[in-house]
Amino acid sequence: MRLLFLGDMVGKTGRTAVWEQLPGLISDFKLDFVIVNGENAAGGFGITEEIFRETLAAGADVVTTGNHVWDQRDALIFAPREERFLRPSNFPKGTPGRGSGVYIARNGARVLVANIMGRVFMHPELDDPFQAGERELAACPLGEQADAAIVDFHAEATSEKMCFAHFVDGRASLVVGTHTHQPTADHQILNGGTAYISDAGMCGDYDSSLGMDKEEPLNRFLSKVPKGRFEAASGPATLCGVGVDISDRTGLAEKIAPFRRGPRLEETAPSFWA
């Protein structure tokens, strides 16, 4: 199975770039399944139902989120009825929406997708992500109820992301880090066959501070006095994520490589998709 994961969409420029390019990527690379993190898609803070639906219309199979999931109150309304919209599964019991689901890929494979949020340096501090991962993977084991299992681990600390990946190694196809918006260079396949990257990066304007216009963040570092609100940067967006080939026989990863397309970062795509 051929899977593309795209990191956090940030603002109008990020979401528009995804909407415009994703249909061609699916066609050109013959993608079986696409996951997009959308938690910063609405002006850099949260996501609306309209944006969610446009992302599905562009070809995304699932939209994941993170700590900004409820920044747009609209999400509290549509989350309970949208099976392809995920919020972190370790929110307390009774939180609207769902943290995981099983979806059918274009090649007929059953794909478990779980959205889990870390606790180190994160707000709000949610339930234990390791217990949440154990619960999700035990309820839908790879090779039994699922042909592939993907975890979007939304966290700040690299150590927490890496330890979680080692914890589920051999039981998940891919653990992909999100939240920090900066693509890392540590993509690898762990000893048990789980693909991993600490952060997929973002889909947004990299002439910025994490996708936000850089003037106000810079001002706050220099003066400690806010002059205005954070606003999403509006320059041309670069898409960032990872491509993974997953074995149809074992459900484990065979290959992983970064995907980057846009004006600011060096462009790259998985060579095994050529």
Q: Which of 68, 123, 166, 187 is the catalytic position?
A: 68
Task: In whole angstroms, give the CA distance from residue 66 to residue 52.
Answer: 14
Q: Is 166 annotated as a binding residue?
A: no
Alpha carbon 1 to its chain centroid, in Å, reads 18
Q: Is 181 annotated as a binding residue?
A: yes
Tokens found for residue 135: 């619960």
**Alpha-helix runs per DSSP H in 33-190:** 49-57, 74-78, 129-139, 158-168
Q: Is 207 annotated as a binding residue?
A: no
Distance (Å) of CA 258 to CA 3, 126, 160: 12, 29, 21
Closest Cα partner for 15 from 205, 176, 156? 205
166 part of the active site: no
Q: Is 213 annotated as a binding residue?
A: no
Residue type, 115: N
Q: Is 67 annotated as a binding residue?
A: yes
178 close to 210: Cβ distance less than 8 angstroms: no
Distance (Å) of CA 51 to CA 37, 105, 241: 12, 22, 19
Q: Is 123 annotated as a binding residue?
A: no
Q: In what order do the strands lie in the sheet with 100-104?
A: 100-104, 110-117, 148-154, 174-178, 195-197, 188-189
Binding residues are 8, 39-40, 67, 154, 179, 181
Q: Which residues are catalytic?
A: 68
Binding site, annotated residues for Fe cation: 8, 39-40, 67, 154, 179, 181
